[in-house]
Amino acid sequence: MAKLLTIQGGKPLQGTVKVRGAKNLVPKAMVASLLGSEPSELRNVPEIRDVEIVHNLLTIHGVKVDRDSAAGHMTLDPRETYSAEHSQIDAYAGDSRIPILFCGPLMHKNGEAFIPDLGGCRIGDRPINYHLEVLRNFGAVVDKQPNGIHISAPKGLKGAKLELPYPSVGATEQVLLTAVLAEGITELKNAAVEPEIHDLIAILQQMGAIITVYTDRTIRIEGVNRLSGFKHRAIPDRNEAASWASAALVTEGDIYVHGAAQRDLTAFLNTYRKIGGEFEVDDEGIRFWHGGKALQPLVLETDVHPGFMTDWQQPMVVALTQAHGVSIVHETVYENRFGFTEALKRMGASIQLHRECLGSNPCRFGQRNFLHSAVISGPSELKGTDINVPDLRGGFSHLIAALAAQGTSTVTGIEIINRGYEHFIDKIEGLGADIDISAALAA
Ligand code: EPU
C-alpha cells in the first residue's frame, strides 16, 4: 500500500548510518554471474528494489539465487539457464533500466534476449540507442516489437572496434558484458570509467576475462571461451554516502557514514569542503558535519568520472539553498534533472532554471531547449510543504529539505526512494528525525 511520510523539520540529523554495496554496481554484478559456468558469491548486497528486480529476472531465467539479506550475502548459480516468457520478463522488470544489460549474457547463454520497455528515473529522455548500436556491431540482430525488443545472435557475437558518442556508463557495461565471451578482440573508445565500472571489470577479471583499461578512456577486451564464477565484495554506494553528507550539512547535523570510501568521493569532498562542510575519514567510514560558519556559494558542473557526479547534484542543490550568495549549477549529464527544484521553490528556495550553459564549459544540451542550468540564491528559509517524489535522487533531496525546513511536510511516492536507499526511513529515524509513516489516502 502507498505510504505517506510526515516530517516535522528543523532538527539536526545526528548519529551513524551504514551504507552497503552500490546500487549502480550490485545489480550489474548479479547480471555478470549469468556469464559464468560456475556459481558466484557476492557480498555487501543492500536490500533495495533494484536488487529485488534483478533477483527475480535472474530466477525466471533459471539462475538459482540464495540470499542472506541481513548479512548481505548472495550466491548465484547460473548452470541451468533458459529463456523466459516475455510476459514474465515484463512483469518482473518493473521500472528498472537494468534489463537492457541482460542482452549480451543471455545471447551468449541462450542465443536470444527480450528487453521490455525500460523505466528508470524520469530525469531526461534516457534513450538506449548506444546500447543497440554496440550490440549490432557485435553481430546481434535487433527486432523492435510492440511490447519490447527481441534480440538474437544467429551467427554468434564477434569482437568489434567501437566508440561511444558520450562516455555512457550503461553502454560501457553493455560492451563489457558482451565482449568478454565474444570471439576476438573488442576495443571501446570514449568509455565510462566510473568506480562502478572498475568494480565490474574486477569481477569479470576474476571470472577469467582479459580486460585492459587505458588512460585515454579506451578499454580493450580479449574474448575468452569460458568464464567461471566470482567471489566479490561490492564497492560501497558513494551516491548514498554523498546524500547523507548533504543531509548533515543542510540540517546542520553530524552524521558518520559507516562504509563510505573516500577514494570514490574525491570530487564530492572537494566541493563539500569549499561550501563549508567538514569531514573526517577513518578506516571504516567518513564523518560529515556543518562547519559552523556561513555556507559559501559556488559554481558547480556535473560531469562523468572523475568529475562531480550527476547523482550528487540534487542533494547538493538543497545545501546551496542555504549558502550565502549566488551559486550556479550546470548539469551536463542529463538534460532534465532539475524538475525536483519546483518543490524546493514551493518550500521557499530561490532557484531559476536556464537553457544556456551557465558557469563554465558549453555542453551538448546548450543549443537545445533544456532547462539544464540553475541559479540558486541563498540563504532561504525553507518551510514544510506537500511533496510527491519525482525520482530517486530528487526524492531523497526533498526529504533532506523537509528535514531541515520549519514546520510539517508530507511526502508521497516514497516507494521510488527504496530503489536505491536501503532502509532509509529507519536510518532517518535513527538520526533523530521527527517522522511518522502511515498509509496514504487515495487521491
Ligand atoms: N545516453 C544516450 N543513449 C544511450 C545511453 C545513454 O543518449 O543509449 C545518454 C543518457 O541519456 C545520458 C548520458 O548518456 O544523457 C549518460 O547516461 P548513462 O548511460 O551514463 O547512464 P545510465 O547508465 O543509464 C547510470 C546510473 C545513473 C547515473 C548515470 C551516470 C545505473 C543503474 N544508473 O545510468 O544513476 O546517473 O549512470 O553516472 O547505474 C541514479 O543512481 O539515480 C542514477 C540515475
| Spatial separation of the C-alpha atoms in residues 41 and 33, rounded to whole Å | 9
Cα(353) to ligand 1 centroid in Å equals 22
Which residue, judged by its Cα, is nearest atom 15 of ligand 1?
Answer: 334
Q: Is 24 annotated as a binding residue?
A: yes
Per-residue pLDDT at 97 exceeds 60? yes
* Strand pairing report for 434-439 and 3-8: antiparallel
pLDDT tens figures, 126-155: 789 999 999 999 999 999 888 888 999 999
For 16, half-sphere exposure in the C-beta direction (CA atoms, 13 angstrom radius) is 7
pLDDT tens figures, 209-219: 999 999 999 99
Res 25: pLDDT: 98
Catalytic annotation, residues: 121
Give me the mean pLDDT over the 334-346 stretch.
96
Pocket of ligand 1 (CB under 6 A): 23-24, 97, 121, 124-131, 166, 168-171, 192, 194, 239, 310-311, 333-334, 392-393, 420
| Spatial separation of the C-alpha atoms in residues 301 and 287, rounded to whole Å | 25
Q: What is the DSSP letter of 353?
A: E
Look at residues 278, 274, 263 and name the one whose alpha carbon lies nearest to residue 298. 274
Give me the mean pLDDT over the 40-69 stretch.
97
Q: Is 318 annotated as a binding residue?
A: no
The residue to mutate among 95, 126, 364, having the most atoms of ligand 1 within 8 angstroms of its beta carbon, is 126
Identity of the residue numbered 210: I
| Spatial separation of the C-alpha atoms in residues 58 and 26, rounded to whole Å | 13
Res 442: pLDDT: 59
Res 118: pLDDT: 67
pLDDT tens figures, 211-241: 999 999 999 999 999 999 999 999 999 999 9
Give me the mean pLDDT over the 190-199 stretch.
98
Sheet holding 408-412, edge to edge: 386-388, 408-412, 3-8, 434-439
Res 151: pLDDT: 95
Residue 105 and residue 207 in contact, taking contact as beta carbons nearer than 8 Å: no
Per-residue pLDDT at 2 exceeds 90? no
Which residue, judged by its Cα, is nearest atom 30 of ligand 1?
Answer: 169
pLDDT tens figures, 287-338: 999 999 999 999 999 999 999 999 999 999 999 999 999 999 999 999 999 9
pLDDT tens figures, 159-190: 999 999 999 999 999 999 999 999 999 999 99
Per-residue pLDDT at 443 exceeds 60? no
Per-residue pLDDT at 115 exceeds 60? yes
- What is the DSSP annotation of 264-278? GGHHHHHHHHHHTEE
Q: Which ligand 1 atom is at minimum distance from the Cα of 393? A: 42
Q: Residue 288 corresponds to which cell in the numbers above?
A: 560529515
pLDDT tens figures, 63-87: 999 999 999 999 999 999 999 998 8
* Strand pairing report for 231-233 and 148-152: unpaired
In terms of phi and psi (left: phi > 0; alpha: psi -120 to 50; beta: otherwise), the region of 368 is beta
Res 145: pLDDT: 84
Residue for grid cell 529476472: 57
Q: Which ligand 1 atom is at minimum distance from the Cα of 167? A: 20
Res 239: pLDDT: 98
3-state secondary structure of 233: strand
Q: Greater confidence, 133 or 90?
A: 133
Per-residue pLDDT at 280 exceeds 60? yes
Give me the mean pLDDT over the 262-266 stretch.
97
pLDDT band at 360 (very low <50, low <70, confident <90, very high): confident
For 410, half-sphere exposure in the C-beta direction (CA atoms, 13 angstrom radius) is 8
pLDDT band at 345 (very low <50, low <70, confident <90, very high): very high
The set of residues, in sequence order, having a beta carbon less than 8 Å from that of 398 and lying 6+ positions away, is 340, 343, 344, 387, 389, 411
The residue to mutate among 23, 126, 168, 392, having the most atoms of ligand 1 within 8 angstroms of its beta carbon, is 168
Cα(348) to ligand 1 centroid in Å equals 30
Per-residue pLDDT at 386 exceeds 60? yes
**Mean predicted lDDT score pLDDT of the chain:** 95
Q: Which ligand 1 atom is at minimum distance from the Cα of 27? A: 32
As beta bridge partners, residue 308 has 302
Which residue, judged by its Cα, is nearest atom 37 of ligand 1?
Answer: 169
| Spatial separation of the C-alpha atoms in residues 236 and 196, rounded to whole Å | 9
Q: What is the DSSP letter of 318?
A: H
Res 35: pLDDT: 98
Res 292: pLDDT: 94
Which residue, judged by its Cα, is nearest atom 11 of ligand 1?
Answer: 126
Element (H, E) at 285: strand 285-290
How would you label 333-347 residue by residue, b for 16+ Cβ within 10 Å and e otherwise? bbbbbbbbbebbeeb
- Any idea which of 115-129, 339-353, 380-394, 410-424 has the lowest mean pLDDT? 115-129
Q: What is the DSSP letter of 161?
A: E
Look at residues 40, 47, 39, 41 and name the one whose alpha carbon lies nearest to residue 23. 47
Cα(98) to ligand 1 centroid in Å equals 11
Residue for grid cell 555487501: 44
pLDDT band at 122 (very low <50, low <70, confident <90, very high): low
Give me the mean pLDDT over the 370-374 stretch.
96
Cα(248) to ligand 1 centroid in Å equals 27
Res 403: pLDDT: 98
Q: Which ligand 1 atom is at minimum distance from the Cα of 96? A: 32
pLDDT tens figures, 404-441: 999 999 999 999 999 999 999 999 999 999 999 998 76
Residue 348 and residue 382 in contact, taking contact as beta carbons nearer than 8 Å: yes
Q: Which ligand 1 atom is at minimum distance from the Cα of 50? A: 32
Cα(355) to ligand 1 centroid in Å equals 21
Residue 370 and residue 335 in contact, taking contact as beta carbons nearer than 8 Å: yes
Q: Greater confidence, 99 or 308?
A: 308
Cα(186) to ligand 1 centroid in Å equals 22
| Spatial separation of the C-alpha atoms in residues 24 and 170, rounded to whole Å | 10
Q: Residue 213 corresponds to which cell in the numbers above?
A: 583499461
Q: Is 311 annotated as a binding residue?
A: yes
The set of residues, in sequence order, having a beta carbon less than 8 Å from that of 39 and lying 6+ positions away, is 33, 75, 76, 77, 78, 79, 229
Res 144: pLDDT: 86
pLDDT tens figures, 12-28: 999 999 999 999 999 99
User: Residues 217, 314, 334, 371: is their CA dihedral positive or negative?
Assistant: negative
Res 93: pLDDT: 85
| Spatial separation of the C-alpha atoms in residues 416 and 47, rounded to whole Å | 14
